[in-house]
């Protein structure tokens, strides 16, 4: 049966967000944490340790690193905390990541990528390992060679975004390069990329081993339930209220909380056409009271 995963979105799909989303919405088989940066010092930032401590059921930590030995260290550390699977980020296209040979930067040189995996799988007592990758660095012509690399290692799953690094998130995902890698893979291949509506989700669930949803779920929190965004759904206001309260408990002040929630609203607002003035009021809110009033206005006005 096809699975549905919630993609990691840095700064948005935090432990607090995941906790509240799990409470209000169904359909997600597994959540993934935003990437945890691992360097040769093995000193992790406190902000990043909050992604996996305390232990979280039904969640896979994602690791971003340039060295296979450092990935293996982090994988075993996380296994010791109870995580039976970790995920390697091979897809982040940001220049600050790629120039350090991390994320999609690892796709630039296929021999270096092989050495990375050799260093990982030379270790014993690893948890299951999945990868989240693109179809190449420069061109979709790299898909064949990448597929050959991936087949040589015992991955649990490949989560595949069918764009190359140089495309970032522009243009359309390329179905041909997705099929090339899927046809050669020795493990399940999960589709990721531009699934924003129920029709597209159902199509991929019929033809693929599973789907990872990212921006589509931020726009429509009930997408994994195969439901179109319903502004009248009574869960939405409760979800947003509780998310606000969770952030108030763990963040330093209202300003930081509002910044985080406003980032989420850049996605949510697509479900509320013709609410421009109310959205502007929300984005200008400087207190929790102003924010909550703007949220209620957007939701109640849309329902009316």
Does residue 229 belong to any structural domain of this protein? no
Q: Are 181 and 242 in the same domain? A: no
CA 203, 209, 143, 60 dihedral sign is positive
Q: Are 120 and 267 in the same domain? A: no
> Which residue among 170, 187, 221 closes a domain?
221
Q: Are 205 and 254 in the same domain? A: no
Q: Are 216 and 240 in the same domain? A: no
Q: Are 13 and 152 in the same domain? A: yes
> Which residue among 221, 245, 263 closes a domain?
221
Q: What is the pLDDT along the chain (304 residues), one digit of tens a residue?
A: 799 999 999 999 999 999 999 999 999 999 999 999 999 999 999 989 999 999 999 999 999 999 999 999 999 999 999 999 999 999 999 999 999 999 999 999 999 999 999 999 999 999 999 999 999 999 999 999 999 999 999 999 999 999 999 999 999 999 999 999 999 999 999 999 999 999 999 999 999 999 999 999 999 999 999 999 998 899 999 999 999 999 999 998 999 999 999 999 999 999 998 789 999 999 999 999 999 999 999 998 654 4
Does residue 228 belong to any structural domain of this protein? no
* Total count of domains within the chain: 2
Task: Count CA atoms closer than 13 A to 225's CA, side-chain side.
Answer: 13
The C-alpha atoms of residue 92 and residue 114 are separated, in whole angstroms, by 19
> Which residue among 167, 188, 221 closes a domain?
221
Q: Which domain holds residue 282?
A: 235-303
Q: Are 182 and 247 in the same domain? A: no
Alpha helix positions (H), 167-287: 175-184, 198-207, 215-219, 235-250, 254-268, 276-284
Does residue 140 belong to any structural domain of this protein? yes
């Amino acid at each position: 049966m096809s699975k549905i995963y919630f993609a990691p979105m840095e700064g948005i799909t935090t432990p607090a967000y995941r906790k509240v989303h799990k409470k209000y919405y169904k359909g997600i088989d597994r959540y993934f944490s935003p990437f945890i940066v691992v360097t040769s010092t093995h000193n992790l930032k406190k902000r990043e340790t909050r992604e996996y401590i305390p232990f979280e059921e039904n969640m896979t930590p994602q690791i971003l690193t340039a060295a296979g030995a450092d990935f293996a260290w982090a994988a075993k550390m996380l296994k010791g905390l109870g995580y039976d699977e970790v995920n390697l980020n091979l897809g982040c296209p940001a220049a600050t990541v790629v120039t350090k040979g991390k994320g999609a930067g690892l796709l630039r040189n296929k021999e270096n990528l092989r050495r990375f995996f050799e260093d990982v799988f030379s270790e014993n007592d690893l948890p299951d390992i999945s990868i989240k990758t693109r179809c190449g660095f420069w061109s979709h012509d790299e898909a064949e060679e990448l597929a050959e690399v991936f087949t040589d290692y015992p991955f649990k799953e490949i989560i595949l975004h069918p764009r190359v690094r140089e495309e970032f998130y522009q243009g359309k995902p390329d179905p041909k390069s997705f099929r090339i890698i899927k046809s050669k893979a020795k493990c399940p291949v999960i589709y990721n990329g531009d699934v924003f509506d129920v029709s597209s989700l159902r199509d991929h669930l019929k033809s693929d081993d599973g789907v990872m949803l990212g921006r589509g779920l931020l726009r429509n929190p009930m997408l994994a339930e195969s439901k179109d965004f319903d502004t009248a759904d009574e869960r939405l206001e409760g979800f947003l209220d509780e998310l606000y309260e969770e952030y108030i408990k763990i963040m330093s002040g209202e300003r930081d909380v509002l910044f985080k929630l406003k980032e989420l609203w850049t996605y949510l607002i697509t479900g509320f056409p013709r609410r421009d003035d109310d959205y502007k009021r929300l984005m200008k809110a400087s207190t929790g009271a102003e924010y909550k009033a703007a949220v209620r206005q957007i939701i109640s006005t849309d329902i009316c």
